[in-house]
Amino acid sequence: MPDSINSKADSKVEGENFKKILRILARANGPAHVDYISLHSEIKQPITILRKMEERGLVSQSPCSEWSSCLSPMFEITLKARREFAL
């Protein structure tokens, strides 16, 4: 398969994953753990995707709360993403 076809397919999958994650974060009542995002999106390792989304300003990483026993990163949707995707 030519590289251009692979990159288009990869871009489409990435876009679909972005939308899945944004919908999950839009429903959350606050920052969500990576494990929660993985569970509800069925994406095994969402951290790479979340980092790309953070670079684009769609999500932001929140500091872990002291009461949480889970030390996994937490992310929340940004206002930019809510406006851009009408969430």
Q: How confident is the model over 20-74, as pLDDT tens digits? A: 999 999 999 889 999 999 999 999 999 999 999 999 999 999 887 666 666 778 9
Which residue(s) pair with 62 in the sheet? 74
Question: Band of the pLDDT at 18, cuts 50, 70, 90?
Answer: very high
Q: What is the reported pLDDT for 1?
A: 47
Name the domain count of the chain. Answer: 1
Domain around 56: 3-85
Cα gap 24→37, rounded to integer Å: 7
Q: What is the reported pLDDT for 86?
A: 83
Instruction: Match 């288009």 to its residue by tokens.
Output: 8
Instruction: Identify the CATH number of the domain in which residue 77 sits.
Output: 1.10.10.10
